[in-house]
């Protein structure tokens, strides 16, 4: 890219003043291709920027202030079409709104932890029978679990309807230990149907196994599930129960039912070995 006629060229230090980006930052942006100098002296390696690059540098500064990754930034700047570029930026701003909401709820969650006493969550033991269901399984990262469920459950309910069947209970999911221990692992989202249903690609007919479950009811947003997991896990541990199989969640009141996440209700179910439970009973 050569400077057009009438444009003037700036040394990196001058360009830093006009853009409020540091020299170190500018060199880094050159390395990764975010802002490439209009000219690089082949002999000395001196970078020369054109005054016409100042505007996009200002854009870069603003997008970086909002933590847009450099790789995405490079793509945005490369967008040949002006309108494509602005559309991508507006989509990014949309994601920023989501982040803002997350931020707010993180603050609320911290305040709640400080103000509310560690609750003595009620735990009940419950036998559940094998349950015919329609399910979708995948390896999911914890960060993406919300989005994944948001597409999985509509697909499941839709498939059940297409199959001429009806849900006979709330949707739920099984979480492998790796999901918690590695922050990513196999998740099975299911909706019970009571009978086998023919399903389309991407879904499967699945029998949720019978189990003895230690169950606690979680009230509120999913980000605060750790508290209920803590109470339930402490209960299981102190009672000397041995865990048996993937943890389950039952979505009694889900985001499909309410926009107020304080109203969400989730059963957290910790499968336990019946032998360990009966050992504890006589005590």
Partner DNA sequence: TTGCTCCTCACGTCACGTGAGGTGGC
Q: Of these partners, a second copy, DNA, none, which one is at the site of residue 47 (CB under 5 to 8 Å by kind)?
A: DNA
Return the structure tokens found at 56.
Answer: 């996009």
For DNA, give the closer residue by CB, 229 or 251: 229
The yes or no reply on residue 43 touching DNA (CB under 7 A) is yes
Q: Is 260 left (phi over 0), alpha (psi -120 to 50) or beta?
A: beta
**CA distances in angstroms from 123 to 224, 225, 262, listed in the order given:** 17, 15, 20
**CA distances in angstroms from 262 to 26, 127, 164, 252, listed in the order given:** 45, 28, 34, 13
Q: At what angle do helices 12-19 and 54-65 cross, to 10 degrees?
A: 60
The yes or no reply on residue 103 touching DNA (CB under 7 A) is no
Footprint (CB under 7 A) of DNA, residues 152-191: 177, 181-184
Q: Of these partners, DNA, a second copy, none, which one is at the site of residue 69 (CB under 5 to 8 Å by kind)?
A: DNA
Q: Which stretch binds DNA (CB under 7 A): 11-19, 103-111, 203-211, 254-262?
A: 11-19
Q: Is 78 left (phi over 0), alpha (psi -120 to 50) or beta?
A: alpha
Tokens 């870069």 -> residue: 60
For DNA, give the closer residue by CB, 75 or 166: 75
User: Which of 151, 182, 200, 258 is in the footprint of a second copy by CB under 8 A?
Assistant: 182
For DNA, give the closer residue by CB, 205 or 276: 276
Which residues is 172 bridged to in the sheet?
A: 190, 250
The yes or no reply on residue 70 touching DNA (CB under 7 A) is yes
The yes or no reply on residue 82 touching a second copy (CB under 8 A) is no
The yes or no reply on residue 51 touching a second copy (CB under 8 A) is yes
């Amino acid at each position: 890219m050569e400077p057009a006629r009438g444009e003037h060229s700036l040394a990196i230090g001058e360009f830093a003043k006009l853009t409020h980006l540091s020299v170190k930052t500018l060199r880094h942006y050159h390395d990764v291709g975010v802002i490439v100098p209009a000219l690089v002296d082949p002999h000395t390696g001196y970078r020369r920027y054109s005054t016409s690059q100042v505007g996009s540098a200002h854009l870069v500064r603003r997008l970086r202030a909002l933590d847009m990754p450099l790789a995405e930034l490079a793509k945005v700047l490369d967008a040949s079409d002006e309108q494509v570029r602005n559309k991508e930026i507006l989509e990014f701003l949309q994601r920023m709104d989501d982040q803002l909401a997350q931020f707010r709820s993180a603050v609320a969650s911290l305040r709640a932890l400080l103000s509310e006493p560690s609750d003595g969550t009620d735990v009940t033991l419950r036998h559940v029978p094998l349950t015919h269901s329609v399910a979708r399984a995948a390896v999911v990262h914890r960060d993406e679990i919300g989005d994944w469920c948001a597409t999985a459950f509509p697909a499941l309910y839709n498939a059940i309807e297409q199959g001429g069947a009806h849900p006979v209970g709330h949707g739920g999911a099984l979480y492998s230990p790796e999901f918690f221990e590695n922050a990513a692992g196999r998740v099975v989202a299911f909706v019970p149907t009571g009978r086998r249903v023919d399903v389309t690609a991407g879904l499967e007919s699945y029998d949720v196994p019978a189990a003895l479950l230690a169950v606690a009811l979680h009230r509120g947003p999913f980000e605060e599930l750790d508290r209920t997991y803590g109470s339930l896990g402490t209960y299981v541990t102190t009672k000397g129960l041995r865990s048996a199989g993937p943890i389950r969640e039952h979505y009694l009141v889900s985001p499909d039912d309410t926009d107020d996440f304080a109203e969400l209700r989730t059963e957290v179910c910790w499968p336990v070995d019946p032998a360990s439970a009966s050992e504890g009973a006589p005590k």
